[in-house]
Amino acid sequence: MKNTPTDPVPILQDLIRCRSVTPAEGGALSYLERLLAARGFSCQRLIFREAGTPDVDNLFARIGTGAPHLCFAGHTDVVPEGIAESWTHAPFAAEIADGFIYGRGATDMKGPVAAFVAAAIDYLRGAGPLKGSISFLITGDEEGPAINGTVKVLQWMRENGHVPDHCIVGEPSCTERLGDTIKIGRRGSVSFTVSVEGKQGHAAYPHKADNPIPKLARFIDRIAAARLDDGNAHFDPSTLAVTSFDVGNPAANVIPSRASAKFNIRFSTEHGFASLRNWVDAEVAMVREQMGGQWSVAATEGADAFITEPGAFVALVKEAVERETGINPRLSTSGGTSDARFVKDYCPVLEFGPINATIHQTDERIAIDELRATQRVYGRIIADYFSAGS
C-alpha cells in the first residue's frame, strides 16, 4: 500500500501557535527539533550572542553525511501581529476558514518550513537509503537584526563540515500563482545620509547667513535625476529613492544652520558598495565646488547584489516547479533582501515559496491547497536532486 503523504497542515498549525515574534523562539524550534529528531535527523540548537543585540536561538538539522548535500533554509521568527483585534481570526490560533490557514507566519515563512519538512519526511520514508544529505537551517533572526542568525549558523556549518552543495530558501517568492516566480538573486541595498553645514541667520538678512538648503537641494536634484545603469540580463536598472530632507527648523523667519537628506539605492550587479560611495562623493564634490559648504557623507551598507547564474541547479528547480504547477516560472531578482544574501557566500542558492500577497499583513494566511502544492514542489525537487546526483 502506498504511504499516505505527510500533511503539512497540522505542522503549520503547531508552528503558528508558537508565539515566536522575533527574536523569541516561542517553542517553534523545539517543536521542529522533536519532529526531525524522531525521523533520524541529527539536530543542533545554536544560540548566538553579541553585545547590544538580542540572543538568538537557531536550529541546524541534518540527515546523511555525504554528498550531494541539499539544504533548505528558513526562519520561524515572525513580525509582530499589530492590532490583534483587527484580525478576522486570532493571529496565533492557526484557525482554518474557507480553505485558508490564518495566522502570523502562515506564509512568511512557517508555511514553507512546514512544506519542506513534510516533503523531506516523505522522501526519506519512501526512497530507501539516502544518497547524500538533507539539512535544514532554521533561524530565529531573519525578521530582526539578522546578526545572530543565519550568518553565524553558516559560519558554524563551515567550521563543522556542514557546508551544503546547494541551498533553497523558502521565502514566499510567487506573486500571483504558486509557481510563477523563482528568485535567483537579489538587488543590493545601501543607504546614505548627506549633510551640509551653514550659518544660521534671519530670513530678512540672508546675506548675513549661509543657507545650506539650496546646496543640498542642488545635490538631491542631481542624484534624483541620474540614471545609475541600464540593468543587465538578470536585473532591472538600479534605483535611487530620496527618503528624507530635514532642516529641523520650525520657524519661517530663520535660515537654518544645517540640512540633511537620506536616500536609499537598490542596485544591480553593475555596482558595489565602493563604486556607489565613490559616485556619491563625486556628486558632493561637484556641488561643493559650485556652491561651497561643509559636507559630510555617511553610508550604511545593507546587502550586496548577487546572482545564482542559471545552470543545472536552477534548471532542476525550474523543471520541478513547472512539472508540479503547470507554470513556467520566471527567474527574478526583484524584492528586498533575504537570508539568501548570506548563503550565497557558501554555495549556489535560490528562493522558492508560496504567494507573498499577505506577508506582514493583518489576516496573513495561506490556502491549504497551496500549502500542499508547495510541499509537492519541494518533494519533486528533492527526488530529482538526488536522482540526478547533483
Q: Which three cell numbers stand for residue 364?
A: 496573513
Are 249 and 256 in contact by the 8 Å Cβ rule? The answer is yes
Neighbours of 251 (CB within 10 A): 9
Q: What share of the chain is helix, strand, coil (3-state, %, to 5)?
A: 30, 25, 40
Question: How many residues are present in the chain?
Answer: 390
d(CA 177, CA 324): 13
Question: Letter for the amino acid at 340?
Answer: A
CA 46, chain centre distance (Å): 21
Find the Cα–Cα–Cα–Cα dihedral 115, 131, 149, 274, rounded to 10°.
-110
Using DSSP's 3-state secondary structure scheme, residue 57 falls into strand
Q: How far is CA 365 from CA 1, 80, 102, 141, in A?
A: 34, 15, 4, 21
- Could you give the residue numbers annotated as active site? 77, 142
Which residues lie below 8 Å from residue 155, measured CB to CB, with a gap of 6+?
none
Question: Letter for the amino acid at 158?
Answer: R
What is the maximum span of the chain, computed from C-alpha positions, in angstroms?
A: 92
CA angle 150, 153, 157 (to 5 degrees): 135
Which residues lie below 8 Å from residue 16, measured CB to CB, with a gap of 6+?
92, 93, 94, 101, 103, 104, 105, 106, 110
